[in-house]
Amino acid sequence: MTGKTAKWIMHVDMDAFFAAVEQRDRPECRGRPVVVGAQPGRRGVVATCSYEARVFGIRSAMPISEAYRRCPDAIYLKPDMSRYAEASRQVMAVLESISPEIEPVSVDEAYLEISGLERLYGSPHAIAGLVKERIWQRVGLSCSVGVGPNRLIAKLASEHNKPDGLTVIPAPQVEAFLNPMPLSNLRGVGPQTLKTVQRLGIRTVGQLRELPAELLNSYFGENMGGSLYRQARGLGSDQVGVRGGRQSISKETTFNEDITDRERLRGTLRSLASEVGHSLRQAGLMGRVVTLKLRLGGFETHTRQRRLPVASDSDAMLFQLAWELFISSPFVDRPIRLIGIGISDWGDGSGETLDLFASGAGRERERRLYSMLDNAAERFGEGKLSLGVPTRKQNK
């Protein structure tokens, strides 16, 4: 891929970011299995872990009790988000020194547009090497870098040789790169999708490419079927820092009279979170910023926001955060005329996570339930069913 028309997108992914910061700052953690997340003996999950801990089969979102059973001698640490945020700012400053076109997608990863920078820094491989060197020298952390003609290939390339990897995939080599790849590496391929594809005798991306679009659409619907068809051919966006289309998704309810009943407000908010989650999944979107909207008497309107560590389309997480915003607000005991929930700042769900709301198995079970609820919503309309306590439909 040469000449002025060459398009190069880079994806930079920090290696075991939270755990790596701990190992950098705590000499006693270096070379040891380190688990960041909930503490043993308490409910919660692993946020992330060092590569030494992954040898024992520990992974993100695993129940902390299971992690402790696998490796009781690991060092278990509570997350220190202020230090991780500072390290993230340092990493992003390094990336901004390389390219003006940068799009952070979580605290530990970002996309860069590096097309045309060859005259300044050399080949794409040389630019990737420069990024790794500067991050190591200035921040003291390792990263994995992938470069390709679009975001999809850059992301897959950065995952290819973790940790401390560097993989460049020119356009003519995309299909050869994808051919042996397991289907689970593709975006949006969960356990149920994987089972369905495997029942068709498909195990690799190369085999998936042989299936016609009509067959994929018949099995998975146009959204997922089209995504699989495009990914198998290495097709993806080559835009960085450009956010077109829908900027947010929100739902709200206006009550016939002002209310203070917390259970009614809670049930309404849960129903609204279910509708927003359904809309997200239908649009194939995941968001990072949850917004709670409240209107009191006299059209006095307030909003509260919280940013997620990683993008999500989970009804449960949307509701949990929105409810926490409500009960911690100064308006909790005041009459409410309108309540609403929204989400924005799209991402792909990758990166480090502090999802302490469910275990890994629980999240897979939740995903299956969402699929059932989404199907029911298509048949019977939104608001009829939701994940959790029954809710009452309000006037809108």
To the query of whether residue 109 is one of the catalytic residues in this protein, the response is yes
- List the end-to-end C-alpha distance of the chain, in Å, as a whole number: 54
* Separation of alpha carbons 287 and 296, rounded Å: 27
DSSP notation for 323-351: HHHHHTSTTTTS-EEEEEEEEEEEE-S-S
* Separation of alpha carbons 391 and 386, rounded Å: 8
Token pair recorded at residue 214: 């009509």
* Separation of alpha carbons 16 and 34, rounded Å: 10
- What angle (nearest 5°) sits at the alpha carbon of residue 278, between those of residues 331 and 350? 90
**Which residues does residue 301 pair with via DSSP β-bridges, in sequence order?**
295
* Separation of alpha carbons 244 and 321, rounded Å: 26
Name the residue type at position 167.
T
Of the candidates 56, 158, 396, 101, the one whose C-alpha atom is nearest the C-alpha of residue 254 is 396
Residue among 52, 101, 103, 109 flagged as catalytic: 109
Query: What angle in degrees, to the nearest 10, is found between the helix axes of 315-327 and 262-283?
Result: 140
- Report in angstroms the alpha-carbon separations of 300 from 63, 342, 361: 43, 18, 43
Q: 169 near 147, Cβ under 8 Å?
A: yes
List of residues 6+ apart from 298 with CB closer than 8 A: none
Catalytic residue numbers read 109
